[in-house]
Chain A
Amino acid sequence: SQQGEEDPQALSIQEGENATMNCSYKTSINNLQWYRQNSGRGLVHLILIRSNEREKHSGRLRVTLDTSKKSSSLLITASRAADTASYFCATDRDSGAGSYQLTFGKGTKLSVIP
């Protein structure tokens, strides 16, 4: 079953606006990661936030984590046309014998209009 679910499924904004994407998950986690995927390409890691962290920044990206609500958000400030991509959250899960694997959501498709 899906661990992380992104919301909204699609988002269209004007260049220069901020974009906010949300991720909800069901079970406890050790960390949550956000990835970006340009059309037809592999995923690129953006930010990893651990369960004991509440907020992390990387350039124009800001990620928050609320473990009490089992949710995370990704904020992209001052968006650019080049930010057009799909964004995925990924949560770790115990796959047995102390091994943790990532479970990806279905993603939010962001379109930034020039």
Chain B
Amino acid sequence: SQTIHQWPATLVQPVGSPLSLECTVEGTSNPNLYWYRQAAGRGLQLLFYSVGIGQISSEVPQNLSASRPQDRQFILSSKKLLLSDSGFYLCAWSVLVDQPQHFGDGTRLSIL
């Protein structure tokens, strides 16, 4: 069966520090991968999606970047965090773009 792992679960970082969040999927090949951010009490905002290794599409211009160095690995990064980067970050995968998405348990990021 397929599983998705996302870590860390919580992270507290100072303003201006770098960020690296990792997401890996097991049990499937060539998944579509997604990074979302969820503000408190809000819906999900799609940040990045990838349909293959090295293929990244950005939905919202911002302080973040994403990379897909391996088929089932998706990394969210920042060189310098801003206060506005605080939030709940969720990684997800799907077989096809019009199929259900399967989410990890998220990373709660707090910027101080």
Query: Which residues of A pack against B, CB within 8 Å?
Result: 2, 30-31, 33, 40-45, 48, 88, 92, 95, 99-107
B43 interface neighbour in A40, A48, A104, Cβ under 8 Å: A104
Seen from chain B, the residues whose Cβ lies within 8 Å of a Cβ on chain A are: 6, 41-44, 46, 49, 51, 57, 59, 88, 90, 92, 97-106, 108
A44 and B102 alpha carbons, distance in the complex (Å): 7
Contact check, A45 vs B101: say whether CB atoms are below 8 A apart.
yes
Please state if B100 and A48 are interface contacts (CB–CB under 8 Å): yes
Is the CB–CB distance between B98 and A31 below 8 Å? Answer: yes
Taking the closest CB of chain A, its distance from the CB of B22, in whole angstroms, is: 15
Most buried by A among B49, B97, B100, B105: B100
Complex CA gap A101/B99 in Å reads 10
Contact A95/B59 with A102-B46, A105-B43 known, Cβ cut-off 8 Å = yes
Q: Which among B90, B102, B105, B108 is the interface contact of A45 at CB below 8 angstroms?
A: B102
Among A44, A48, A88, A101, max chain B CB count under 10 A is at A101
A105 to B42, CA, bound (A): 8
In whole Å, how far is B31's beta carbon from the nearest beta carbon of chain A?
14
